[in-house]
Structure 1
Amino acid sequence: MKAEIAAILLAAGALAAPSEKAPRKSAAACSSAVKLDASTNVWTKYKLHPNTFYRSEVNAAVEAMSDSSLKSKAAKVADVGSFLWLDSIANIAKFDDAISDLPCENILGLVIYDLPGRDCAAKASNGELAYNEISKYKSQYIDPIVAKLKANPNSAFALIIEPDSLPNLVTNADLTTCRQSKSAYEEGVAYALKQLNLPNVVMYIDAGHGGWLGWDANLKPGAEELAKVYKNAGSPKQVRGFATNIAGWNAWDLSPGEFSSASDAKYNSCQNEKTYVQKFGAALKTAGHPNHAIVDTGRNAVTGLREEWGNWCNVNGAGFGVRPTSSTGDSLADAFVWGKPGGESDGTSDSSATRYDSFCGKPDAFQPSPEAGEWNQAYFEMLLQNAKPSF
């Protein structure tokens, strides 16, 4: 069965090298150029697009199921909008198919994620570029993406900029890998913001989550780090704010918070993502950075599963959360989104693998799990069964 699923997914997700040709334009694209006003909440007008790549993964997963009731529920997941991760130079090719069926009323979510020395404090999701390959990041990664966006002026795009990058510079500066990556992170994010500052694009810079930059001592330095890079980029007007809980597990409005009884809870007043959005948003405003947010609710339906707040890998017992919507009940939270495609692994549980990270072998991590980004059928089915609201 595992080989059969792998074959289906390989056929569904096979990729060629990035095309030199102009991407295929959607037949349903807008009749004129899209101009997004980043001073407003664009999610009230646009729906997050159910991109073709995740749809193909879900459809393959459905084909691998024998339970008719589960198959029916799983098929509905394919219609949920989610962000497409352009997490390598080769995966820029995913853009062409993703744009081909994008209607005018939808916005295509893209995760920009390939900095030199990527994820300097983790092993499971290390990138393809060494910490000193900033020129390659600019010319072979960012520039081709910019070209594709420019070739599709009649379509709308929402970008999450480099998950985990700037937060790592705030809290993991003592690590050699993060010290080595610091200049490339700051220069790379600034370059991305400047070049991707296009009329049909709205951008959110990743800011971790409440259990990361939400600690009282991290709020101000975290906001100032984002603001510094934003200003170095020339304060691009298409930056709307920040992204939080991307590929995360924190509840939006759980009170008391999941870790409010921990011995060190008194040092973190951001016990849920709603409080984090408010407090970090205020710190960003003071630092001179746009402060509206999008929050990932893709896998945060079930709480109380993690042994520690920092445990991030394939949390066992998780479930699909609230579907993408602009109805958040909070003026700073633009939308709930599905940032991490549910079913794609956070990292391998194989301790002999080169990219094995000990967090993926912890008691609260689902095992077995494949390499980061690869499909985990059993995990997908668990997310589906534990979904709130249910499918």
Structure 2
Amino acid sequence: MPGRPRTRRRPPPGRPRPLAAALGLALLLAAAPGCGSGESAPPHAPAEAPPEASAQAPPAGSPYWVDPESDAARQVAAWEVQGRDSDARLLRRISERPMALWAPGHDPGPAIRRAAKGAEAAGRVLVLTAYNIPHRDCGRHSAGGAAGATAYRNWIGAFADAVGDARAVVVLEPDAVPHIVDGCTPAAHHEERLRLLSEAVTRLKRNRNTKVYLDAGHPAWIPDPMKLVEPLYQAGLGQADGFSLNVSNFQPDTAGREYGARISGAAHGKHFVIDTSRNGEGPLTGDGDEAWCNPPGRALGTAPTDRTGDPLVDAYLWIKRPGESDGPCRGGPAAGRWWPDYALGLAARAKE
């Protein structure tokens, strides 16, 4: 839909490996910039992970788990081996900070259990994204999702079972509600989608330590936030802990806080979280519909923390994993694939 700012969501990175093999894999990553995988499988389908993962200390002010086996961490290892020490130091601005794990679409269990085990060992909170709703992304760069309602119910059940009693924050189905509001998702799918989202909230909230945030887009996408309130409630906002904003986008923190406060005011004071992973320089302007896709000159934003100074903002999170492509635009790889050159640019331009 020309002229409409969009967000695009990313799947998790490729198969995590044991740390003993990290250097070898990292060398391969460095030799092939932009590749998370050379396969033709959909970008939402990472493979299984080993159960072990060493703990890594999170930055001050953050209660969230840092994955020691992320693509960024493996890239740092590769560059250190190659003697690219200055680049490696810059990329640590990403690798040493917590990011959301986007659960794989084929089987979320192994990846979530690995991460939950690591988070528990570190005494930290796991941040997860559930992104597998049927008819996802209106058939665009991140198209895919579960084959139907039954498949999605089974998937979200496996997702929730894998989280179990771990302390976790779940960002539920980026784009799903805004794509109903903007009409991108055909009307024939609206009722089923809202029902599936509501059921997903109910299932996830059966886990005693899980917080759930339904996605509500961003202010440049749905300018009138009141249009989101009713569908958010139909999608289960009443049972959820709140909503998420700016996932995979670039809107400034101030814009997110103001927008979120308007939704909260019409939603009985519900709290929200904001994705600050790439909004350090704000959005690209003057590029119309493509401003969201691998825009140049962007930077990392506020580091993940639950100390926001705003009573309505529960956390600033890195939901989009910095360095993963938005799609095959501006020389980038497929959606969700690791792109070290872009990651380095985000880190180099960061203000902290």
Tell me whether the two structures share a fold, i.e. TM-score over 0.5.
yes
Match of residue 212 from structure 1: 221
Supply the AA of the counterpart residue of 2:176: S
Tell me the alpha carbon deviations over residues 114-146 of structure 1, each in whole angstroms, 9 at most, x when there is no partner.
0000112x500111434xx1111112x111112
Q: 1:227 aligns with which of 220, 223, 233?
A: 233
Decide whether the 8 Å contact of 1:319 with 1:386 is kept in 2: yes
Residue 95 of structure 1, CA deviation: 1.3
SS at match of 2:267: helix
Q: Is the 8 A contact 1:15 1:93 kept in 2?
A: no
In the alignment, which residue of structure 2 is the partner of 1:107? Answer: 125
User: What code does the residue aligned with 1:245 have?
Assistant: N
Q: Is 1:194 matched up with 2:177?
A: no
Per-residue deviation at 1:377? 1.3
1:324 aligns with 2:304: yes
Amino acid paired to 1:207:
A
Matches within 5 A, 1:311-390: 311-349=291-329, 367-389=330-352
- Does the 8 Å CA contact 1:193/1:230 hold for their aligned counterparts? yes
Contact (CA 8 Å) 2:35, 2:339: kept in 1 or not?
A: no
17 and 334 in structure 1: CA distance in 2 versus 1, 3 angstrom threshold:
closer
> What's the % identity of the aligned pairs?
26
The DSSP-based 3-state class of the residue aligned with 2:159 is helix
Looking at structure 1, the residues matched to 118 and 298 of structure 2 have their Cα atoms a distance apart, in angstroms, of: 31
- After the TM superposition, which of the residue ranges 373-382 and 320-329 deviates more from structure 2? 320-329
Gaps of 5+ in 2: 1-27
Show the counterpart of 2:65: 49
The superposition leaves residues 182-233 of structure 1 with CA deviations (integer Å, 9 ceiling, x where unpaired) of 13311211111111112110111100011123x2xx32221111012217xx
Q: How does 1:76-115 map to 2 (within 5 A)?
A: 76-102=93-119, 103=121, 105-115=123-133
1:45 Cα deviation (Å)?
Answer: 9.6
* Alignment-derived partner of residue 163 in structure 1: 174
What is the TM-score with the length of structure 2 in the denominator? 0.79
How many residues are paired up? 310
Q: Do residues 62 (structure 1) and 69 (structure 2) align?
A: no
Deviation at 1:109, TM superposition (A): 0.5
Say which of 127, 143, 147 aligns to 2:157. Answer: 143
Higher relative contact order, structure no. (Cα contacts within 8 Å, ≥ 6 residues apart): 2
Q: Is the 8 A contact 2:131 2:145 kept in 1?
A: no
Q: Which amino acid aligns with 2:210?
A: V
Shift of 1:373: 0.7
Amino acid at match of 2:334: E
Match of 1:297 in 2: 276
* Offset from partner CA, 1:231-257 (integer Å, 9 cap, x none): 7xxx43xx211100111100112xxxx
**Contact 2:33/2:340 (CA < 8 Å) preserved in 1?**
no
2:189 pairs with 181, 184, 188, which one? 181
SS of the aligned residue for 2:235 comes to helix
Give the secondary structure class of the aligned counterpart of 1:48: coil
* 2: CA distance, partners of 1:51 / 1:156: 15
SS of 1:370's equivalent in the other structure is coil
The gaps in structure 1 that reach 5 residues or longer are 29-43, 254-271, 350-366
**1:387–1:92 distance in 2 versus 1, CA, 3 Å:** farther
Cα distance change on mapping 1:10 and 1:116 into 2, 3 Å: closer
Separation in 2, partners of 1:17, 1:67: 30
Report the TM-score, using the length of structure 1 for normalisation: 0.72
Shift in Å at residue 10 of structure 1?
A: 5.5
Counterpart residue identity of residue 136, structure 1? A
Corresponding residue to 1:129 among 146, 151, 157: 146
Give the Cα–Cα distance (whole angstroms) in 1 for the partners of residues 170 and 35 of structure 2.
29
Aligned partners of 1:48, 1:76: CA distance in 2, in Å? 15
* Cα distance change, pair 2–57 in 1 and its aligned pair in 2 (3 A): closer
Residue 242 of structure 2: aligned partner: 241
Q: Are 1:71 and 2:88 counterparts?
A: yes
Root-mean-square deviation (CA, aligned residues, Å) is 3.0
- State the Cα distance separating 1:15 from its structure 2 match: 5.2
Indicate the residue corresponding to 1:37 in structure 2.
none
Deviation, structure 1 residue 105: 3.3
Whether the 8 Å CA contact 2:104–2:111 is kept in 1: the answer is no
Return the alpha-carbon distance in structure 1 between the equivalents of residues 135 and 173 of structure 2: 12
Question: What SS does the aligned partner of 1:147 have?
Answer: helix
Deviation of the 1:9 alpha carbon: 5.5
Q: Residues 138-158 of structure 1, C-alpha deviation per residue, up to 9 Å, x if partnerless?
A: 12x1111122123xx2x2010
Contact 1:146 1:196 in 2 (8 A): yes
2:187 alignment partner AA? R
Does the 8 Å contact 2:61/2:306 carry over to 1?
A: no
Amino acid paired to 1:243: S
For residues 37-62 of structure 1, what are the alpha-carbon distances to aligned partners after superposition, in whole Å with 9 as ceiling and x for unaligned? xxxxxxx997111124xx43012222
